[in-house]
Amino acid sequence: MNELTIRPRADDHMQGCVQALATVHATDRYPVDWPVDPEGWLTPRSMLGAWVAVDSSAVLGHLVLARPGEALALAVGLPSRRLVSVTRLFVSAGARRRGVAARLLDKAIAVAAADGLRPVLEVEAGAAAAINLYERAGWRCVGTSAADWTTADGRVARMRSYVAPSGHRT
């Protein structure tokens, strides 16, 4: 096994990111509906930066930091200008249980801290594995809300809002 590294996403990572996302979609239905433009989906307009976890040249995971919406800032109870949102976080189905997601979260916290920001995120309430990861890592659930989309089984999604632990190791 090669060394796992976290690095800024580059254009030459995009094909690997889309391939990794396809394994996640097939396994977990994330995203619920496959995007018409997967590369565009991985690059939201609010994006501030993106990172990948790579092992040799294979993309194993992905993370975007973005400007948070006002609803998430309100749920967290801090002004949006003091926050950064973790989004488009996933680990390919074949790379799970290797600490990839935890390393990506640590990177998000370190980047945010360097900019004086606090990371926040939202996760669908049915995503038990992701919720367990966040809570094991010390992220705190600060609220729930109804989403404006439906889950794969047709119910209105319930979102859980999380804030990163303060003073987290970097």
Share of the chain above pLDDT 70, in %: 96
Residue 169 pLDDT level (bands cut at 50, 70, 90): very low
CATH code for position 107:
3.40.630.30
| Residue 169 covered by a domain | no
Q: Are strands 47-55 and 83-91 parallel, antiparallel or unpaired?
A: unpaired
| Residue 170 covered by a domain | no
Instruction: Evaluate whether 154 touches 110 at the Cβ level (below 8 Å).
Output: no
Residue 50 CB coordination number (10 Å): 21
The pLDDT tens digits of the residues spanning 55-85 come to 987 999 999 999 998 888 988 888 999 999 9
Give the structural domain span for 46. 4-163
| Residue 28 covered by a domain | yes
| Residue 136 covered by a domain | yes
| Residue 72 covered by a domain | yes
Distance CA 80, CA 48 (A): 14
pLDDT at 170: 37
Task: Tell me the backbone φ, ψ of residue 164, rounded to 5 degrees.
Answer: -65, 155
| Residue 22 covered by a domain | yes
Give pTM, 2 decimals.
Answer: 0.91
Q: What single-letter DSSP state applies at residue 135?
A: H
Half-sphere exposure of 138 (CA within 13 A, CB side): 11
pLDDT at 112 over 60: yes
Mean pLDDT of 115-126: 94
Number of domains in the chain: 1
| Residue 81 covered by a domain | yes
| Residue 68 covered by a domain | yes
pLDDT at 168 over 60: no
Instruction: Evaluate whether 88 touches 51 at the Cβ level (below 8 Å).
Output: no
